[in-house]
Structure 1
Amino acid sequence: MNAQAPALTRNGLDLAQLDQTINLLSNQPSLAQFEFRASNQWINGGENRSQIRGFYGVGAEDQSRSADFVYTNGEPPVLLGHNEGANPVEYLLHALAGCVTTTTVLHATARGITIRKLSTRLSGTINLEGFLNLDPQATVGYESIRIEMAIEADCSDQELDELLAFAKDHSPVCNTVCRPVPVMLERV
């Protein structure tokens, strides 16, 4: 009987797979180009649904997902909805929390840091005068977002501060929010 040794992990990540991925992308940078996609269908009022399944990455179309991920966007009654789901700006907070968390865990693992506990709380302020075009000077979208992270890890405070600064600078969603990104809206 040939039993396979269990994978060596840190923070729930397979260390051998992490090394393989880093080596592959370091040696073949073209494989690091990914394209993620979503489709959306309006239902009624402020309700609409997004489906996510396929993406392109590591030089090929991914086939690992057998079903769509489905997300219902809605609005609270004060914004003319019926709480069909979180609203899009709340999903943005969810995406930001998830990406900063994943980036922190991934880079802690690569640095040999074990995380014992990690949680985040996000809040963002919006002035709806911008969205509703009631004040042309008002910002459209979040004016600011605060991420409060509670983290316990087996490293010094300085190492933790460096890790969090690195994670903020290397989180794809955080960087997308923090810098101008061209978005084209086209009728097809």
Structure 2
Amino acid sequence: MKTNSKHINGIDTEALGNAAQAIANDASQGQTKWLVSSHWKGGTRSDAKVSEYHLAGQRIARNFTISIDEPLELCGANQYANPQEYLLAALNACMIVGYTALCSLQGITIDELVIETEGDIDLRGFLGLDPTVKPGYDGLRYTVHLKGSGTTEQFEEIHRKVMATSPNYFNIANAIPLQSQLVIGSLAEKHAA
């Protein structure tokens, strides 16, 4: 994508720089909270509802639905991508934001950016058939295809920075604690009480 005044690769570099400076001056401006509410739709189908996120203590309305299913071979109706595909897509998309922003801030135009990610899961772990088999990935493999006006050295440095700063790269590469709570009963019943 070509440049247009302060817009490079579709990124307003002035606005991005101003946001980074505001967060550097006041860390509270960079505090975010993300929420997703997933609703079972029968079988292996679910819809994830995105209705808000929080930035610098302010609630910002959103209105998106992410539909999820499983392939026919895994007892689904094959209507939508499955959770693993969304996980890999979320990793790729987060890194793409990083490559695009970092290239744009350096005045580098991107001609092509593709990330291919794959991983293997042994379903014996998911199905509880063998307690020695992990239910998830042993690792992921990804390849970044990046072409643009930058030098090899610039792209290598940007690649290292993306791996160091991408939230989803961090979340997948590092164990993060999960806090679980089970509520028995209907959400509608809870709101009616």
- TM score, norm. by length of structure 2: 0.88
**Which position in structure 2 is the counterpart of 1:3?**
none
Unaligned runs of 5+ residues in structure 1 are 1-5
**Which position in structure 1 is the counterpart of 2:39?**
41
Q: In the alignment, residue 133 of structure 2 is paired with which amino acid?
A: A
* C-alpha contact 1:54 1:61 (8 A) present in aligned 2: yes
* C-alpha contact 1:120 1:149 (8 A) present in aligned 2: yes
1: CA distance, partners of 2:71 / 2:26:
47
Q: Indicate how the Cα distance of structure 1 residues 39 and 13 shifts in structure 2: closer, same or farther if over 3 A, else same.
A: same
1: CA distance, partners of 2:113 / 2:39:
35
Post-superposition Cα deviations, 1:74-96, rounded to whole Å, max 9, x if no partner, equal 11111111112111011001101
Alignment map for 1:57-96 (pairs within 5 Å): 57-63=55-61, 65=62, 68-96=63-91
Q: How far apart are residue 17 of structure 1 and its match?
A: 0.6
Aligned to 1:143, the other structure's residue is in SS state coil
Identity of aligned residues (%): 28
Alignment map for 1:12-161 (pairs within 5 Å): 12-63=10-61, 65=62, 68-161=63-156
Larger deviation, residues 142-151 vs 6-15: 6-15
Runs of at least 4 residues of structure 1 off by over 4 A? none
One of 179, 183, 190 as aligned partner of 1:184: 179
Q: Number of aligned residue pairs: give it.
A: 180
RMSD: 1.4
Q: In the alignment, residue 88 of structure 1 is paired with which amino acid?
A: P
* C-alpha contact 1:7 1:14 (8 A) present in aligned 2: no
1: CA distance, partners of 2:6 / 2:51:
29
